[in-house]
Structure formats: C-alpha cells, structure tokens
Chains A and B, each alone.
Chain A
C-alpha cells in the first residue's frame, strides 16, 4: 500500500508569529488560530515545497536540521495526523 501523500495550503494563506520557541499560526481560510510546537512548523514549511509522504518530509527536514529521532518517518507521520486533525494538512 502506497504511503499517504499530504499537502498544505500555500504559505500566503497563513499568518505566523514566532513566540520564543512556539509558533502562533492564523489559518486564513478557516479563521482558526493554532499554537504549534516544533516540529509542526517545520513540517508545514517542508510541505510548502509540494505534497509529500512522511518519509519524504523527513528527508526534506533533514536537509536543514539535525534530526533527533530513532524513526523520523514514524515521528513525522504522528505529527501529520495531528496537523490533519487540526485542518492544516490534507491527504491528496
């Protein structure tokens, strides 16, 4: 079974403010505001490059960060489930 591909709304639909390690994010299409802790903002930023599955996102993030996880793909998948429940990402 192929891994799920996820997509996010374009960055221009979001308004973000950094708050000492947290990100306050306003999602214009829904009018909802979210408090995000790492790595959620980094996942959304990585999705701005285009739809991707958890493993691909882990690789994109690893280009910019030293990842601290024994199983990056599984950890990203768990974070994607949260972001999907919040309406910030969707499966394509």
Chain B
C-alpha cells in the first residue's frame, strides 16, 4: 500500500487506477435517493395495466431467448411470442416470486420476465413495468 485517497471510485467507479479507501457506512445511513416520474400510481391501475411480449414494434415473428433478447423465430431454446399481453398483476408475481402466469411453463416465464426487465422508454409495456417497480 503506497498511496491512498479518501475519494472512492474513479473512471468506472470500481476499478480505480490507485488503491483508495471506501467507507461502507453505518447500517442506518442512506446511500440511495430515488426520483420518481409521475406514472400511474394507484394499485388498481398498476395491476390492470398490460405488457405485450414482445412489443408490437419489435416486429412479428420474433422469439424471446432465455436472457430476454429478441431472436429470429425458431431459434433453439427461445420461446414464441405470447398470444396475449400479460397483466400487471401477473408480471408483478413473475418478477417478485418467479411465479409463472397461467398456461406458461416456468422456463418460458423466466425468459419473458427477462424480456420485460429489458424494456426501455418508448416500448409498449414500459410504463406498466416502471409503475410495477415503484416502491410504495
């Protein structure tokens, strides 16, 4: 140990170019503050919102790989698009406890859950997913 700094993190935040001291903080200390956009907040609207898997703009004929990415139809190990959108309540149960929606086997459900985790602003279902993630 030849050099120290009291400023944690450089560049990408985990691989400093020199050894630095990182204080982990007291249990009661807070290190995360979240800013929430004004999305649907009521429990009813969240649980009834819908997420198509995949989003229509993804194009027809796309399958969902185990990691949630979209792949060409028929790709081995990938799962076909869902015939119906998932309800917020189903997605919440799937993401939080791994419970597969009715009629979907658990491995396929995991792929669909990974697809939903990759949703970004502007994609169908994103607002629903974002609302489900909000701490209450």
Q: How far is the CA of A86 from the CA of B126 in the complex (A)?
A: 17
Tell me if B102 counts as interface (CB < 8 A to partner A).
Answer: no
A29/B14 in contact, CB under 8 A:
no
A30 interface neighbour in B9, B23, B32, B133, Cβ under 8 Å: B133
B9/A42 in contact, CB under 8 A:
yes
Tell me if A88 counts as interface (CB < 8 A to partner B).
Answer: yes
Contacting B at CB under 8 A, from A33-92, are 33-42, 45-46, 48, 61, 64-69, 72, 74-76, 78-79, 82-83, 85-88, 90
> If A18-B13, A45-B12, A45-B13 touch, does A32 touch B34 (CB 8 Å cutoff)?
yes
Tell me if B43 counts as interface (CB < 8 A to partner A).
Answer: no
Q: How many whole Å from B33's CB to the nearest CB in chain A?
A: 4
Q: How many whole Å from B9's CB to the nearest CB in chain A?
A: 6
B33/A65 in contact, CB under 8 A:
no
- In the complex, how many residues of chain B place their beta carbon closer than 8 angstroms to a beta carbon of chain A? 41
Give chain B residues whose Cβ lies under 8 Å from the Cβ of A72. 24
A34 interface neighbour in B13, B34, B118, B129, Cβ under 8 Å: B34
Residue of B nearest to A81 (CB): B27
A68 interface neighbour in B22, B34, B95, B134, Cβ under 8 Å: B22
Q: How far is the CA of A68 from the CA of B39 in the complex (A)?
A: 39
Residue of A nearest to B119 (CB): A29
B30/A38 in contact, CB under 8 A:
no
B135/A86 in contact, CB under 8 A:
yes
Cβ contacts B30-54/A at 8 Å (1 or 0 each): 1111111101000000000000000
